[in-house]
Amino acid sequence: MKFAKRIESLPPYLFAEIDKKRLAAIAKGVDIINMGIGDPDQPTPKNIVDAMHKAIDDPSTHNYPPYQGTKEFREAVVNWFEKRFGQRFNSDTECVSLIGSKEAIHNCIFATIDQGDIALLPDPAYPVYKSSTILCGGKPFITPLTEKTNWLPDLTKIPNDIAQKANILMVGYPNNPTGAIAPIEFYDEVIAFAKKYDIIVLSDNAYSEMTYDGYVAPSIFQAKGAKDVALEFQSLSKTYNMTGWRIGFAVGNEKVIKALSTMKTNIDSGIFKAIQRAGIAAFETPKEVINKTISIYKERRDVALSGLKELGWNIKEPIKGTFYLWLPIPPTFKNSSDFATAMLDKCGIVVPPGSGYGEYGEGYFRIALTIDKKRIQEGVARMKKEGLVFAPQTCSVK
């Protein structure tokens, strides 16, 4: 059998590999504490499930959906976006439904990058950005995210000749995996940079509603002139606990939306109509329901940070967005893969190594706060017992 060479250029997908290790440990009888994947453990809100029940009984939802999404869903999207961010889009030409953000990011990169084209990509980052660029023959140019720059790319460090050849710039805040946030001034810089070099900006805003302590995440479209060059991906997965439903949307520049839509019509057949009706109901979810979910993650964040501080981690301030903690590995470990392996083998805890998110992720690991706080506390206790601490002399977990 012969397979495409492009497959050989890809590393194993990070989360698929993590799941293999998790299942192997479970098969051995290990009580696994899974902090690996950002999959909400709370149920989808009842109003959404009820809407789905009703919609699935309607035979008119059982045929092929419109490729771009139903008119009703797209109208609900633009109405929600205007209410949330104060920016209005044309539901027919500046909006498209998505089978989750992951496929859309992949398809949009294929729609904007030809063989040899340069993509300006953050690192550490969601692995799909780089893998999709490689698959379509593009050349990733890394814009490092470091603690020194508050996990924001320094656009002034991108060489002029690289910027002139680049076709897309990828950003995403609140950020996966670092949990970092971006001020609107950052987006102003991004848009100015993109216009100077005629670059398309792709903004991954899947965690815009997962914020804490009064922080409200902006959209790139709140920056002046963003619609001239940008497209934003949004997902219903995290906000409404709908990861398995596979539904999201993109809004933005009409030409970029058209390019993405053209790619999608040749790849997929759209979202099941019943799910789109459930998506419409999602936008009408009472605020107190969403706030309850946020409060659960906030409590887990605080429990995890308290425990980790007692194990010696010097955590300056809590995350304001996402449900991830991005932490340095203990200095006693050679690399993040060794630390992640030790966490699994010694503690039965699954965490992804920072190296899985790119070169600049080395030396870190990520924790997903998608498990009950009691399991988080148990995880901290296991770490203490097995000596997986950052600074042993400060440990005092009870």
Q: Are 241 and 323 in contact (CB under 8 A)?
A: no
Q: For residue 160, is pLDDT > 90?
A: yes
What one-character DSSP code corresponds to residue 361? G
How does pLDDT run across 293-302, given as a tens digit for each residue?
Answer: 999 999 999 9
pLDDT for 316:
84
How many Å is the maximal CA-CA distance in the chain? Answer: 65
340 pLDDT higher than 60: yes
Please list the residue range(s) of the chain that carry CATH number 3.40.640.10. Answer: 46-282
pLDDT score recorded for residue 392? 55
d(CA 68, CA 63): 15
Say which residue, 22 or 286, is predicted with more confidence.
286
Tell me the per-residue pLDDT of 307-327, one tens digit each, with 9 for 90 and over.
999 999 999 889 999 999 999
The pairing of beta strand 349-350 with beta strand 230-235? unpaired
Q: What is the pLDDT of residue 397?
A: 37
Question: CB count, 10 Å around CB of 307?
Answer: 19
Which pLDDT does position 373 carry in this prediction? Answer: 97
Q: What is the mean pLDDT of the chain?
A: 94
Instruction: Tell me the two tokens of residue 84.
Output: 């949330």
- Render pLDDT for 57-81 as a digit per residue (tens, 0 to 9): 999 999 999 999 999 999 999 999 9
Give the Cβ contact number of residue 86 at 10 Å: 10
Place of tokens 């969403």: 290
Q: pLDDT, tens digit, for every residue of 201-214?
A: 999 999 999 999 99
Task: Give the tens place of pLDDT for each residue, 92-137.
Answer: 999 999 999 999 999 999 999 999 999 999 999 999 999 999 999 9
Q: Whole-angstrom Cα distance, residue 69 to residue 269?
A: 10
Q: State both tokens at 339.
A: 């630390």
Domain with CATH 3.90.1150.10 in the chain: 5-43+287-394
The answer on pLDDT for 12 being more than 80 is no
Mean pLDDT over 210-223 rounds to: 98
Supply the pLDDT for residue 395: 36
pLDDT band at 396 (very low <50, low <70, confident <90, very high): very low
Three-state DSSP class for residue 365: strand
**Which whole number is the average pLDDT over 33-56?**
96
C-alpha to C-alpha distances, 259 to 89, 98, 200, nearest whole angstrom: 17, 14, 12
Name the fold adopted by 46-282.
Aspartate Aminotransferase; domain 2 (3.40.640)
Beta bridge partners of 99: none
Percent of the chain predicted with pLDDT > 90: 89
Q: What is the CATH number of domain 5-43+287-394?
A: 3.90.1150.10
Contact present, 37 and 18 (Cβ < 8 Å): yes
pLDDT bracket for residue 393 (50, 70, 90): very low
Q: How confident is the model at residue 328 (pLDDT cuts 50, 70, 90)?
A: very high
Dig out the tokens for 29 from the structure.
Answer: 């009888």
- Of 45, 47, 44, 20, the C-alpha closest to 32 is 20
Quote the pLDDT of residue 7: 75
* Residue 342 pLDDT grade (very low, low, confident, very high; cuts 50, 70, 90): very high
Residue 137: is it exposed, middle or buried by C-beta count within 10 angstroms (0-12/13-18/19+)?
middle
Work out the number of other CB atoms within 10 angstroms of the CB of residue 167.
17
Q: What is the pLDDT of residues 222-277, one digit of tens each?
A: 999 999 999 999 999 999 999 999 999 999 999 999 999 999 999 999 999 999 99
**Spatial CA neighbour of 244 closest among 19, 44, 15, 12:** 44
pLDDT of residue 398 exceeding 90: no
Burial annotation 373-384 (CB, 10 A radius, 16+ → b, else e): bebbbbbbebbb
Model confidence pTM above 0.85? yes
- Evaluate whether 277 touches 367 at the Cβ level (below 8 Å): no
Label residue 5 by pLDDT band (50, 70, 90). confident
In sequence order, which ranges of the chain are alpha helices (DSSP H)? 5-8, 14-27, 46-56, 71-85, 101-112, 128-135, 160-165, 184-197, 254-265, 273-282, 287-310, 336-347, 373-385
